[in-house]
Amino acid sequence: MFFLFRRLQRVPVALYRVLFFSLLAFVLVMSLIPGEADPSGFMNDKFKHALVFFVLAFVMEVLAYPSLVWGFRKPVLLMMFGVLIEVLQGQSGYRDFSLGDMLADGVGILMFYVGCQLIWQCQERKSEA
């Protein structure tokens, strides 16, 4: 797994930052289009939210900003983006504000960080043995 991360980190960080902000823009646009125009409408909405925010956390933490130690700022900023999406959806007139969607966003972010901790601990145990 770490081999893959090392290979991914050979690409200049600036390209990953462009990718990250492009993903943010794409997620925002997809979140604000009318529900019937959403091509991923077949997928469970909460699962979709968790998956999208898991991927955003991965790209931000591992690829776009790997060297910055912001503590809780990175996940909090992602959650603020999720809240912004829900507020804008509530204002749109054709989408709904949903606390459940924000919870699913948080679950996706939490799954990424918990997964990272578990992988990191496993790697530390292997290196100690």
Q: Which two tokens stand for residue 40?
A: 């991923």
Output DSSP code: residue 33. S
Query: Domain locations in the chain?
Result: 2-128
Burial 68-107 (b: 16+ CB within 10 A, else e): eeeeeebbeebbebbbebbeebeeeeebeebeebbebbbb
pTM: 0.84
Furthest C-alpha separation in the chain: 58
Write the pLDDT tens digit of every residue in 20-42. Answer: 999 999 999 998 988 776 776 67
Task: Output Rg (C-alpha) for the chain, integer angstroms.
Answer: 16
Q: What's the whole-number mean pLDDT along residues 51-59? A: 95
The pLDDT, as a whole number, for residue 79 is: 96
Write the pLDDT tens digit of every residue in 83-117. Answer: 999 999 999 988 889 999 999 999 999 999 998 88
Q: Which two tokens stand for residue 42?
A: 């077949």
